[in-house]
């Protein structure tokens, strides 16, 4: 196992029931991160209470980074959390992503200087999600019913290097399974705080890393995780946010003006 320090970064907002299952899946990891930071975009007290309970018995430091709910400000709380992270390598997920027991081990195995990582996820459908909450069972069979994108739930890491894929395309990156070196994030000034509302902060940030000279590694058959079903969020700002991403691509921008140095 590589000797690198890791921070698992979890974004969340007002869904403690899902976050509880995510934290349980972290406790089941064969290799633990050095710390977990929950980037909380203004959740109510129920989430704080849940985290407080987990902190009493969690196997690694569990840090709750919170700011007031003033609307969708995910980029700001992510930047604050990245700045606070002590790990040299940051593995990022969402607060509705349940991890395979080898998730952290796989990310460490395929971490490489000069690269960030795009992972994938299986998707739990409505009925399977209902069963999940009723039974609190956080282990899955890749081919069981109620799971979509099943190819993403097969773990066979010997094949992973054959599918690292395009090194510069960032259009398909999702922040729910994403990893990068903290120094690379600082170099491009982290997430762009000018992106507000849902969408595309998770492709704009790595696009700037590509422009800076960092390349992408795609992980297939490794770092398996499962996305809990939820209704689609409002996407009022999506068009403007995508325009910001296109500007980064077209003008080879590697550093945003309003980023991690402003939080």
Say what the alpha-carbon torsion angle 74, 77, 80, 83 is, to the nearest 10 degrees. Answer: -50
pLDDT at 54: 98
Answer yes or no: are the C-beta atoms of 77 and 65 closer than 8 Å.
Answer: yes
Q: How far apart are CA 167 and CA 33, in angstroms?
A: 26
pLDDT of 235 over the 70 cut: no
What average pLDDT does range 53-66 have in this prediction?
A: 98
What residue segments make up the domains of the chain, in order of their start? 6-121+154-222+234-262
What tens digit of pLDDT does each residue of 103-125 get? 999 999 999 999 999 999 999 99
Distance (Å) of CA 248 to CA 136, 166, 215: 42, 18, 16
What pLDDT score does 198 carry?
72
- State the pLDDT confidence band at 1, using cuts at 50, 70 and 90: low
* C-alpha span between 127 and 117 (Å, rounded): 31
b (16+ CB within 10 A) / e for 200-215: bbbbbbbbbbbbeebe
Could you tell me which residue, 236 or 186, shows the higher pLDDT?
A: 186
| pLDDT, mean of residues 75-103 | 98
Query: Rounded distance, CA 203 to CA 67, Å?
Result: 23
Residue 141: predicted pLDDT:
82
The pLDDT mean for the chain works out to 94
The answer, yes or no, to whether residue 2 has pLDDT greater than 80, is: no
Q: Calculate mean pLDDT across residues 194-201.
A: 83
Query: What proportion of the chain, given as a percentage, has pLDDT over 70?
Result: 98
Classify each residue of 40-63 as buried b or exposed e, where b means 16 or more C-beta atoms within 10 Å of its C-beta.
Answer: bbbbeeebeebbeebeeebebebb
Q: 199 pLDDT exceeds 80?
A: no
Q: Does residue 87 surpass a pLDDT of 80?
A: yes
Mean pLDDT (whole number) for 211-215: 98
Mean pLDDT along residues 77-91:
98
**138 has a pLDDT exceeding 70:** yes
The three-state secondary structure class of 55 is helix
How long, in residues, is the chain? 263
Who has greater pLDDT, 143 or 228?
228
Q: What is the pLDDT of residues 65-74, one digit of tens each?
A: 999 999 889 9
Burial class (CB in 10 A: 0-12, 13-18, 19+), 261: middle
Superfamily of structural domain 6-121+154-222+234-262: Spore Coat Polysaccharide Biosynthesis Protein SpsA; Chain A (3.90.550.10)
């Amino acid at each position: 196992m590589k000797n690198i320090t890791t921070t698992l970064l979890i974004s969340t907002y007002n869904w403690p029931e899902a976050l509880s299952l995510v934290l349980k899946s972290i406790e089941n990891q064969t290799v633990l991160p050095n710390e977990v930071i929950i980037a909380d975009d203004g959740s109510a007290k129920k989430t704080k209470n849940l985290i407080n309970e987990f902190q009493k018995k969690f196997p690694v430091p569990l840090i709750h980074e919170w700011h007031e709910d003033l609307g969708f400000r995910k980029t700001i709380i992510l930047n604050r959390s990245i700045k606070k992270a002590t790990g040299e390598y940051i593995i990022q997920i969402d607060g509705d992503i349940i991890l395979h027991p080898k998730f952290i081990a796989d990310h460490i195995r395929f971490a490489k200087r000069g690269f960030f990582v795009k992972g994938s996820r299986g998707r739990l459908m409505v009925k399977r999600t209902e069963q999940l909450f009723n039974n609190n069972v956080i282990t899955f069979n890749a081919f069981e019913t109620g799971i979509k994108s099943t190819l993403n739930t097969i773990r066979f890491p010997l094949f992973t290097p054959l599918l690292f894929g395009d090194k510069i395309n960032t259009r398909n990156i999702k922040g729910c399974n994403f990893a990068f070196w903290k120094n690379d994030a600082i170099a491009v000034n982290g997430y762009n705080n000018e992106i507000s509302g849902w969408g595309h902060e998770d492709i704009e940030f790595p696009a700037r890393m590509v422009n800076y000279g960092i390349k992408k590694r795609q992980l297939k058959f490794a770092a398996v995780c499962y996305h809990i079903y939820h209704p689609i969020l409002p996407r009022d700002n999506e068009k403007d946010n995508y325009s910001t991403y296109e500007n980064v691509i077209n003008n080879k921008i590697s550093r945003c003006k309003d980023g991690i140095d402003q939080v």
